[in-house]
Amino acid sequence: MVEDRFPARRWWGTSSFSGDAEVCEHVGKRRPSDHCYQKEVTPHALAPQIGLAALGKLPSGRFHLGRPDLQIPFHVCLSIGPRRKAGPPQFKKLIFLTFSIILCYLKTAMLFPKNKKFAFTIIDDTDFAGIENIRPVYEFLSKLGFRTTKTVWALPPKDKFKGASLENYRYRQFIGKLKRQGFEIALHNVSSGRLTRQDILDGLEIFRRYIGSYPKIQVNHAQNRDNIYWGVKRFSILKPFWRFSYFSGDNPDSAYFWGDYHQKHIKFTRNFTFKTLNTLARDPHMPYLDHQKSRFSNYWFSSSDAGNLAKFNRLLAPSNIDRLKKEGGAAIIYTHFASGFVKKNRLDGLFQKNLAYLAGQNGWYVTASELLEYLLTAGAGKPIKSRELLKLEFWWLWDKIRR
């Protein structure tokens, strides 16, 4: 398999875009060509060579623009065709190249480290979590080689929600053990309930003291007034109504404001959830910047909805795993391990079966922030366009309607 390094890419092919199916020896196909050469370019640097500026969009540097099924890279894919003594007229060549690019682009697949076929991770919501009802889950995940992300509260909940926090010594020891094993610890607000700015800042320092650093990931919790860009503020199309929002963690005039610290310490914030396992297929821009929320946030990302055991087992059915592998995608599942995964100290059987099947595939199993950081190096992290953001909002709404 050809090794790629982002953002620069190595492309193999013939010195002319016309020619037969001769392929470089670097690809291990047929005989070496006299015209074979190597060149390091970025995808956008190809524009002058192939004259495709009229397309308005070149393939992103995040993708392998060849034929992954044949392991034929981009230039070779273009060079396949009958050899001609003289090149075709320029407009015919442009048409040929345009359709070749489109065909190659349709065969794209994300490249992951160590030749892994897809990426997978889980974010576990801390609602109602204690040691007894989640420890068997994490023991099983560790045994299979998964390293996922666990959210926590720094302070005890102040409302109807239950769950342990970092102020509980035994729970804190348990969370510390997970971190040493390679699991990521993230934030689900500092607690549940009405929290003043001082409560939030104290909670962030408690998190840093016990975990060793500020969290990279924040996931807004339920109806907390201190949620960042939550409620109607999740949707760009509803911006005229943002000022009426119940949630005010991003409002400097609010008693619940902590947006300045959110931007300072939190790198990734979760927004939309979708019903498909391949999160990257639904949100190919993540992590992205949202210029309407840039004052008090950094990068935004999406996740796949598996809020309880039934949804998780349905989403992680072997057929969906096979599809994820075939698509070469990336899944960030959002769930609540405290919601029925463990009953009478026994882990659900179907959950074990599905996870064992997943572990047997050639996947890249990392924490959420590690996956998001990789996507940044692969070309993500740009400001999202308004029409692309509207697409995400539409798909979120459509999934809600379908439920």
pLDDT tens across 185-216, in order? 999 999 999 999 999 999 999 999 999 999 99
Apex 384 CA angle, 383 and 390, nearest 5: 155
For the cut 80, the answer to whether the pLDDT of residue 172 exceeds it is yes
- Mean pLDDT, rounded, for 218-241: 97
CA distance 47 to 68: 22
For the cut 80, the answer to whether the pLDDT of residue 331 exceeds it is yes
Residue of higher predicted confidence among 5 and 222: 222
For the cut 60, the answer to whether the pLDDT of residue 333 exceeds it is yes
CA distance 239 to 292: 9
Q: What's the confidence (pLDDT) of residue 47?
A: 39
Confidence of residue 109 (pLDDT cuts 50, 70, 90): low
Q: What's the confidence (pLDDT) of residue 242?
A: 97
Q: What's the confidence (pLDDT) of residue 100?
A: 55
Percent of the chain with pLDDT over 70: 73
Q: Out of 66-75, 207-216, 272-281, 308-317, pick the least confident.
A: 66-75
Q: Report how many helices (DSSP H) and strands (DSSP E) the chain contains, helices first.
A: 13, 15
pLDDT tens digits for 15-27?
333 333 333 434 4
Q: Cβ of 44: how many Cβ atoms within 10 Å?
A: 12
Confidence of residue 146 (pLDDT cuts 50, 70, 90): very high
Q: What's the confidence (pLDDT) of residue 288?
A: 98
Q: Out of 59-73, 195-209, 221-235, 386-400, pick the least confident.
A: 59-73
Q: Which amino acid is at 285?
A: H
Nearest Cα to Cα of residue 303 among 352, 268, 266: 268
Burial class from Cβ neighbours inside 10 Å (0-12, 13-18, 19+) for residue 381 reads middle
Element (H, E) at 122: strand 118-124
Q: Out of 29-38, 228-237, 240-249, 384-393, pick the least confident.
A: 29-38
For the cut 70, the answer to whether the pLDDT of residue 377 exceeds it is yes
pLDDT tens digits for 44-86?
444 333 333 333 333 433 333 333 333 333 333 343 344 444 4
Percent of the chain with pLDDT over 90: 71
DSSP label at 19? S
Apex 28 CA angle, 22 and 31, nearest 5: 35
Q: What's the confidence (pLDDT) of residue 110?
A: 76
- Mean pLDDT, rounded, for 386-390: 96
- Mean pLDDT, rounded, for 206-230: 98
Torsion of CA 210, 211, 216, 217, to 10 degrees: -80
DSSP label at 157? -
- Kindly provide the b/e burial profile for residues 329-357, where b requires at least 16 CB atoms within 10 angstroms of the residue's own CB: bbbbbbbbbbbebbeeeeebeebbebbee
CA distance 284 to 329: 10
Tell whether omega for the bond before 240 is within 30 degrees of 0, i.e. cis.
no
- Mean pLDDT, rounded, for 214-236: 97
> Average pLDDT, whole number, for the chain?
82
Phi, psi of 289 (to 5 degrees): -100, 140
Q: Out of 43-47, 279-283, 343-347, pick the least confident.
A: 43-47
Q: What's the confidence (pLDDT) of residue 46?
A: 41
For the cut 80, the answer to whether the pLDDT of residue 30 exceeds it is no
CA distance 218 to 203: 13
The percent helix, strand, coil of the chain (3-state, each to 5) is 40, 15, 45
Contacts of 397 (CB under 8 A, 6+ apart): none
Domains of the chain: 9-110 (no CATH), 114-402 (3.20.20.370)
Q: Out of 98-112, 129-143, 267-281, pick the least confident.
A: 98-112
User: Is residue 67 within 8 Å of 104, Cβ to Cβ?
Assistant: yes
Give the CA distances from residue 103 to residues 72, 123, 172, in Å, rounded to whole numbers and listed in that order: 13, 36, 53
Q: Mean pLDDT: which of 3-17, 41-55, 133-147 is highest? A: 133-147
- Mean pLDDT, rounded, for 242-261: 97
Q: Cβ of 169: how many Cβ atoms within 10 Å?
A: 8
Burial class from Cβ neighbours inside 10 Å (0-12, 13-18, 19+) for residue 126 reads buried
